[in-house]
Structure 1
C-alpha cells in the first residue's frame, strides 16, 4: 500500500462490486429493460458505462430527464431489481476472503459500515442472504441520501453513524465514482479490481492500493 503509516479506525464498504461481484447482473438487468422493453439502441458496453447512482439517475442519463413519469420510473426500477435478484441469486457469495476479513476486523474492534447507492431491497437481499448483518454497525443506502456518489454524502453519513472522523475511515470501492466520493469526503480508499480497469482510476490521490480480493496480503498492514 502507498501509505503504510495509515491506521484506519473504521472500514466503509461499497456493496456491489466491492463486497459481492455482481455488477454484471445489474448491467444485464438494465440492458434487457433498455433494449428489449424500451427499444433503446444500446450495446452492452454503453449500458455498463452508466452503472452508478440511483435507478432514476441511470434512466435520466440514458433517456433524458423528462422521458418517464415518477410512476414509470418506480415500475421500471422494481422490474430491474427483480430481474437482478433472480439472475444473481444462484451466484450470491462474498468476494473471496471477505468472510475472514470481516471476522478479523470485528475481532480487532474496527467498526464497519456499508455506504452504497443500492436501495434497501437489494442491500437486505445481500446482507441477510449472506448473514453478515452482525458485522455491520451502520448501513447507508440510496434512500438515506439526497445526492449520489461522487457526492461525499454517502460516506460522510456512514462515518457519522459510526462516530468516526472521515480522515480515520478507509473506504473499499470498485468504481471511479465511488473513489471520487471518498476523495470528496476526505477519505483514503482501497480499490477492488472487479469492475473497472486500473487505467480508469488514474488521477485519484486517495487510492492506497489495489486488490483483486480480500485474500491479498496487503490487508495485513491494516491491523
Structure 2
C-alpha cells in the first residue's frame, strides 16, 4: 500500500462496546412485540452490525412479522433513552490507538451506520470527539453499509485514494463497504461467527492493540 495517511474507524463494536447494549434493549422488544426470544449469540449472528432498516426487513421477510421501520425506530429509541446510552464503555485500547495515530499525524475519521446523536453521546462522554477530523454518520448517506457509499464519502472528505487509507471494522457488513470503496482493511473481532464470514479479509485481529501493531508497520 502507499504510505498510510488516514485511518477510518467504525463505531459500534469497534471503538465502543455497544453490541450488548443493543441486545439488552432489542431482546425485550422482540419478546413483547412478536414473542420472539433471542440470545446474545442470536443477536450477534443475525442482527449485530446492521442498520435498523436491515433488521426490520429481516423481521418482516425472514420471520414473517408485521412491523415497520418507523414503529421499531420509536420502540428502540425510547428503550435506548431509558437505558442511558452514555453508559456504553469503550472497547479495550480504543483511546490508546487514537492517541497513537494522532501523535503520528495520521488523519482520523469515523464511518458509522449510527446517527450523529449516538456519536456525540458516547464519544462525547469519553472525550474522544476531538480526535476525529470528520464523522460520516447514517444521516450523511442514502445507502449505508454494506454499500460503499459511506467510505467513498469519507475518501472525498479526505481528498485521498483508498490505498493510502485503512478502515478498521468488526463485521462483514462494514468490511464489505470499505473493501468495495477501495480501502485497506483491518478487521477487529473475537466473535467466531463474524471471523468465519470475513473470508476476503487478510488482516484479522482480536483487539485494537493488535490493530495498532499492524498500523505501526505502515506508518
Equivalent pair of 1:169/1:187 in contact (CA under 8 Å)? yes
Name the CA distance, whole Å, in 2 between partners of 1:220 and 1:119.
31
Alignment of 1:186-201 (within 5 A): 186-197=182-193, 199-201=195-197
Measure, in 2, the Cα distance between the counterparts of 1:70 and 1:190. Answer: 31
- Contact 1:11–1:171 at 8 Å: present in 2 too? yes
Contact 1:56 1:73 in 2 (8 A): no
- Mapped contact 2:171–2:194 kept (Cα < 8 A): no
Q: CA deviation at 1:29?
A: 1.1
Partner of 2:7: 11
Root-mean-square deviation (Å): 2.4
* Unmatched 5+ stretches in structure 2: none
Q: What displacement does 1:77 show?
A: 3.5
Aligned residues: 214
- Taking a change above 3 Å as real, the CA distance of residues 155 and 140 of structure 1, as seen in their structure-2 partners, is same
| Partner Cα separation in structure 2 for residue 219 and residue 147 of structure 1 | 29
Structure 1 contact 17–195 (Cα < 8 Å) conserved: no
In 2: Cα distance, 1:114 partner to 1:8 partner: 16
Give ranges in structure 1 of 5+ residues lacking alignment. none
Distance 2:72 2:149 in 1: 23
Tell me, yes or no, if the aligned pair for 2:147 and 2:177 is still in contact at 8 Å.
yes
TM-score, normalised with respect to structure 2? 0.85
Counterparts of 2:213 and 2:70, CA distance in 1: 48
Distance 1:70 1:41, change over 3 A: closer
* CA distance in 1: counterparts of 2:72 and 2:36, whole angstroms: 19
